[in-house]
Amino acid sequence: DTGVSQNPRHKITKRGQNVTFRCDPISEHNRLYWYRQTLGQGPEFLTYFQNEAQLEKSRLLSDRFSAERPKGSFSTLEIQRTEQGDSAMYLCASIEQEEGDNGYTFGSGTRLTVV
């Protein structure tokens, strides 16, 4: 078990392009979270899944953002028509639901730069 894995580590894209990030959670973890972190701020909740069901989405997640978790395993986060304001670190975390309120383990993150 190598922990939560995120790819790519870095992504530079031109404004208006679409990007997709992938997160592979710890294998037995049924909950998966996406957060976004901008410089000088703490991580902000975007959305989370329990197995394959997307249970909640933040208001931060505009309709240009979509997340999926097919078969309850890995998850993807897609941003369409990227804007400079989307530049941030995108973090994924997973947890086994039965662990209750244990803290999350984050992946290494994907740093997005929109130019």
Interface with other proteins includes 45 (CB under 8 A)? yes
Q: Which of 21, 33, 49, 65 binds other proteins (CB under 8 A)?
A: 33
**Burial of 92 per CB tally in 10 Å (0-12, 13-18, 19+):** buried
Q: Which residues contact 41 (CB under 8 A, 6 or more apart)?
A: none
Q: Which residues inside 76-115 make contact with other proteins, applying CB under 8 A?
A: 89, 91, 100-109, 111
Tokens of 85: 């304001």
Q: Which of 40, 59, 70, 85 binds other proteins (CB under 8 A)?
A: 40
Closer to other proteins by Cβ: residue 37 or 80: 37
Interface with other proteins includes 44 (CB under 8 A)? yes
Cα–Cα distance, 24 to 107 (Å, whole number): 9
Q: How many residues bind other proteins (CB under 8 A)?
A: 24
Interface with other proteins includes 25 (CB under 8 A)? no
Find how far residue 67's CA is from the centre of its chain: 8
How near is the Cβ of 78 to other proteins at its closest, in Å?
20
Q: Which residues contact 62 (CB under 8 A, 6 or more apart)?
A: none
DSSP 8-state assignment for residue 92: E
Instruction: Give the interface with other proteins as residue ranges (CB under 8 A).
Output: 33, 35, 40-45, 48, 55-56, 89, 91, 100-109, 111
